[in-house]
Amino acid sequence: MLPPLLEKIARAKVLVVGDAMLDRYWYGDVERISPEAPVPVVAVKEAKELPGGAANVARNVRKLGAACTLFSISGDDREADSLEQLLDKDDIHCRLERDKLVNTTVKLRVVSKHLHQQMLRIDFDSPVSKDARVKLLDNYLKHLPEYDAVIVSDYGKGGLSNIQEMIQAARAVSRPVVIDPKGDDYSGYRGANLITPNRKEFEQVAGRFRDDADLERRAVKLIQDLDLGGILVTRGEKGMSLVQKGGRALHIPARAQEVFDVTGAGDTVIAAIGCAWAVGSGLEDALQLANIAAGIVVGKLGAATASPAEILHELSLQEG
């Protein structure tokens, strides 16, 4: 039952650790094609900044009602200042390990307001230093027991090279760990309670699957090889597929609705599951919460969140 679950989540404390970034949006109108090249000309009318990556996961956690802290690595720059200010406005405690040798990761999206369409994305990345990674791990190990659950948001930016130590430390104090994975090698996630790849990410590691039964077989092998509690594969319009240790599988259809923007939907899913597990929820209720919340955010433009009020409203529509 989701109403009692949402009430419990309001008393939870969730730790998010991972690759935080700053999302910049430039909104404008597209009315002509450039004479210099066959590309649309966007006349920018509005600019906006939002927390991105692991910071967007933290934002989703807080919106669901749980207290949230974010541990991440950033540059020592204006973008890091902006990120901290944005998170502070959302009442999210933020500990950034600032590295003077790198730039804070920024994703710039150019969006046509008229077309409700993303026209271009530009990424600004730089490598993370070993010193910053060690400081992040030390801070994590020191404060881990203060939280009810851990969400690891890996965007492959290099800040999580010590992820195995993080998982083992969480297991030692009986804290569930949910991971949004990246890359073609999942060995670093060994021992996690749940990983949440999308279909493309899962197939990159486990191989292309033909049908649900084939997905389940491949997931079971990966679970056994990496001592995982389970794998949740998010499959876009086909919903989500959960395979647990022991082979139990659950396939959840997506909610039928208009999709404006899938940006950050995976962040919403992992935030919902982490919040639910922080208060001892069963996995089926956690997945129902995640599915409804994700359905709400893809109906919005840009990286968005779903509030308890929106979730309860959507639930009432489904039950009505």
Catalytic residues: 267
| Spatial distance between the Cα atoms of 199 and 111, rounded to a whole number of angstroms | 26
Burial of 73 by CB count in 10 Å (0-12 exposed, 13-18 middle, 19+ buried)?
buried
DSSP 98-147: EETTS---EEEEEEETTTTEEEEEEEE--PPPHHHHHHHHHHHHHHGGG-
| 8 A C-beta contact, residue 85 and residue 113 | no
Quote the DSSP letter at residue 237: G
HSE toward the beta carbon, residue 103, CA cutoff 13 A? 8
What are the structure tokens assigned to 113, written together? Answer: 């307001």
Burial of 49 by CB count in 10 Å (0-12 exposed, 13-18 middle, 19+ buried)?
middle
Cβ contacts of 44 within 8 Å, gap of 6 or more: 26, 27, 28, 110
Helices (H) and strands (E) in the chain, counts: 10, 13
| Spatial distance between the Cα atoms of 94 and 112, rounded to a whole number of angstroms | 32
Quote the DSSP letter at residue 162: T
DSSP 22-61: EEEEEEEEEEEE-SSSSSEEEEEEEEEEEEEEHHHHHHHH
| Spatial distance between the Cα atoms of 51 and 302, rounded to a whole number of angstroms | 11
